Structure 1
Amino acid sequence: MIPTLRSLPDPLALRNHLAGVYDLPFTTCTLLRSLVNDVYELAAPDARYVLKLYRTGGWEPDEILWETGLSAHLAADLPVPRVHLLADGNEVGLLDSAEGRRPFVLSEFVTGTKPRPPFTDDLYSGFGRLVARFHAAADTFSSPNPRRPSDLRRRLDEPLAQIRPFLAAAEENLLLDLANAVRSNIAQYSEELSWGVCHGDVSLDNVLITDDGLALHDFDLSAEGYRAADFTGVAATPHWPAFLRSYREHRPISEADLAAIPYLAVVGRIFNLRFHLIDKPMIRGTESRGEGWADEELAALRRAADDLL
């Protein structure tokens, strides 16, 4: 058999397998999204669920237990999806596939709608309050399981080394200069920067509007890191002042953290470049490099260089 990089389970076969694993009478199984991980919706007569089927070679099962532990910890204070246990009491299952064993987690379905434009300051004010509550709750989280941190080695150094062969000389030099500026800034203020559990993808894509308010989900990128990294996406929107005011009403942000945001935004964009230039073409083909996402990241990095270098 030829080695396989990525397989996609048949929904009907997956439904039947999971019915036994969870001892639940699933009636349907529908693929919602397939990119880094595969996400399915499963329905039973009296409930709906979301299954995340992790890719092989990503998080190890113990690291996913860190993630499910975070979800359980947050659920005491925040509206987040609750993990549903397997029939044997475990939180993480393993599915035999062509490429190897793939971890999976089943969560309860959260009924709500994704925020749609036009976005408002009121929405971002509620979002700021939600993220402040997330950080406050995460401050008291601990786990016996490991999780690789979102430090500069993993988020900046490794991706930069991997994407350099795909860059023109001018782009490579620009990114190297930006990376040096990031390291210099972080080294200078490291003792003043907040470090803790980050969500990893603070955007409205991971928010649902429910009858009880805003709910937060998708902790696949969560890990310990510089907290200011959680503000980089929102800080680039016109609603950042509303978000920041609301966040500060519930939790302080230091001046060092605010000053680090544009530097950590550079880290995030270089990390994203690795995805668009290397990771995504492995599962979507090299034509995906022509979709414009990498070009947008490079354009944003050029603008960042104008401000930071």
Structure 2
Amino acid sequence: MNATVEQALALWGFAGASWSLVAARENQVFRVDYADRTYALRLRRPGYRTEAELRSELMWMAALDRGGLHVPRPVPSASGALLHMVGAHAVDVLTWLPGAPVGKTGVALQVKDSITLFRNIGREMARLHEVSDSWSRPEGFTRQSWDRAGLVGETPVWDRFWDNPTLSDADRLLFLRLRDTACDRLAQIGDKLDFGLIHADLVRENIMVDGDRLQLIDFDDGGFGYRLFDIATTLIRNQNEPNYDGLKAALIEGYLSVRDLDLAALDLFIVLRAATYVGWIIARMNEDGSGARNARFVTHARALARAYLSEQGATR
């Protein structure tokens, strides 16, 4: 891996820079210090995204930066390219954003004013959608889509949650009913819902705080989707907070202060977002800690699915 990083650094004219691994999730992220500046170098997970998808992500991030959002800005290599292949890895370099994440999933929020924080998150999310809608996408732009097919079709973006191999027979039937109900509901209302580019993973770890400034990072899962999916993503990771109702109201208030959004189907997207994790974990069952995470995902999605289906009169 050292040789891969060193080759990548040379492509950006950073030979001799100091570097260290700071994150190893879907991608490996390295902090690079060179000529009194700091950068983030990413080795992208082989096979997870096509080169066209990765280039599209970088062009989108550059557009968001130009639109005034605080996001990592892609840094061209010495040849002017935003992306290079080094062995099996696609590599890119971004500006380094200071600050710290809002928090960690599963750990109680430790901020002085969580209501103001979530109101500001709502505003930034809305600004992201607004700037994305005003951007003229270049020819060849391509990203995955969380449309009806991407959520509950035969080959969803994050796998078939109803086929998670750890499910009991009862849970499998429950999730199949959820899938059928969601398919029908989205067929009825999908064309009326706000749809466009979304971040799709605005969880605490991907929202950085630097003073009064909020910064959005990790667009790896960004693509086309229902705007309610973005709101649901932020909300479901905070449902255990004692003031969840207040956080939810603040997030929505902040969003609506920037742009309109029909919230009538929000409960549907909250339960679907929980279900996506039950599918997402299928390909990661052999990773450390996956058993405990899978159990949490299934438990959470089960509770939300039961409540939603009961409200819809879809239980049997």
| 1:111 and 2:98 aligned | yes
Q: Is the 8 A contact 2:76 2:93 kept in 1?
A: yes
Give the partner amino acid of 2:148.
Answer: L
Alignment of 1:90-129 (within 5 A): 90-96=81-87, 101-116=88-103, 117-119=109-111, 120-129=114-123
- Deviation by residue 1:26-47 (Cα, 9 ceiling, x = unmatched): 4222111222211111111311
Give the partner amino acid of 1:112.
Answer: G
Distance 2:280 2:117 in 1: 29
Distance 1:248 1:156 in 2: 28
1:152 Cα shift? 3.0
Q: Is the 8 A contact 2:162 2:176 kept in 1?
A: no
Give the one of 37, 45, 50 matched to 1:55.
45
Distance 1:308 1:121 in 2: 26
| 1:252 and 2:273 aligned | no
TM-aligned CA distance change 1:16 to 1:164, over 3 Å: closer
Distance 1:25 1:214 in 2: 32
3-state SS, counterpart of residue 86 of structure 1: coil
1:185 Cα shift? 1.5
TM-aligned CA distance change 1:134 to 1:26, over 3 Å: farther
| 1:226 and 2:226 aligned | yes
Matched residue, 2:289: 288
- Deviation by residue 1:138-179 (Cα, 9 ceiling, x = unmatched): 112313222222223233332227834442211111110011
| 1:132 and 2:122 aligned | no
1:211 Cα shift? 4.1
Structure 1 unaligned regions, length at least 5 = 1-8
1:209 Cα shift? 1.4
| 1:153 and 2:149 aligned | yes
Q: Is the 8 A contact 2:120 2:251 kept in 1?
A: yes
| 1:89 and 2:85 aligned | no
Give the partner amino acid of 1:271.
Answer: T
Structure 2 unaligned regions, length at least 5 = 104-108, 239-243, 310-316
Matched residue, 1:4: none
| 1:243 and 2:247 aligned | no
| 1:31 and 2:35 aligned | no
Farther off after superposition, 194-203 or 229-238 = 229-238
TM-score, normalization by structure 1: 0.86
Q: Is the 8 A contact 1:182 1:264 kept in 2?
A: no
3-state SS, counterpart of residue 250 of structure 1: coil
Q: Is the 8 A contact 2:4 2:86 kept in 1?
A: no
Alignment coverage as a number of residue pairs = 287
Give the partner amino acid of 1:252.
Answer: D
1:230 Cα shift? 0.4
3-state SS, counterpart of residue 175 of structure 2: helix
Distance 1:115 1:172 in 2: 35
TM-aligned CA distance change 1:294 to 1:165, over 3 Å: closer
Give the partner amino acid of 1:148.
Answer: Q
Please provide the CA RMSD for this pair.
1.9
Matched residue, 2:138: 143
TM-score, normalization by structure 2: 0.85
Distance 1:131 1:40 in 2: 26
Distance 2:304 2:46 in 1: 34
Distance 2:295 2:91 in 1: 33
Give the partner amino acid of 1:103.
Answer: A
Matched residue, 2:314: none
Distance 1:295 1:263 in 2: 22
1:88 Cα shift? 1.3
